A = this chain, B = another copy of it.
């Protein structure tokens, strides 16, 4: 076990396969379910009765606007807990990207158990905290307004996720989602995403083995793009900061 210390507290990573205490916590509560590729896990605004903890595969959450476009796409990987309700209804829909298995956790039973099992509480809080930080990273990503920077940062987040899960930085990355899904996630058109990938390969930053298989070929250039290092440096004034009252 590589992570016993990191996973015990409130902080630390909550990515990757379930630890033994997590398995224990959900064992008698949840049932395992299988989803085929593109299967809908739950629908937007549907009455929320279960949380889902992904065990294998990949899934996405999204909100479909009246005009038919998908927004707020986020991706879920093994270890992710998703399907949190607002006013007892799901905020967004969820769909499997490929064949996937998940733990289906009844909210009511979870809540009841929570009142008597502090270990479960700690697991939940850790998962939620991890989710919050993940989403925050996506918010930062979406604040950028250059297509290449967004796509590069998206890849950096995927890579980081793999690294947290496996313990080492993966040599190659695989994209379980389509260009269109990526576009909805990073707030670009799918054409812009495609062009960004092409540009990244053209510059020698990424090297593609197939459409969804690649590796980071030029680490320095990649980090520069992710870190948003501008070619022409233009310093701005520091944040105004006053004394603590």
Task: Write the residues of chain A forming the contact surface with B, with a CB cutoff of 8 angstroms.
Answer: 6, 9-13, 33-40, 48, 61, 63-74, 84-88, 91-92, 95, 99, 107, 110-111, 114-119, 121-122, 124-125, 128-133, 135-140, 142-145, 184, 187, 227-230, 233-237, 239-245
Contacts and interface: CB of A to CB of B under 8 A. Distances in A.
Given A91-B133, A135-B139, A187-B145, A235 B68 contact: yes
A117 B125 CA distance: 13
Contacts of A11: 48, 85-88, 107
Contacts of A33: 244
A74 B139 contact: yes
Give the number of copies in the complex.
Answer: 2
B72 A36 contact: no
A58 to B, nearest CB: 14
A243 B36 contact: yes
A107 to B, nearest CB: 6
Contacts of A35: 244-245
B71 A144 contact: yes
Contacts of A114: 10, 118, 121-122, 125
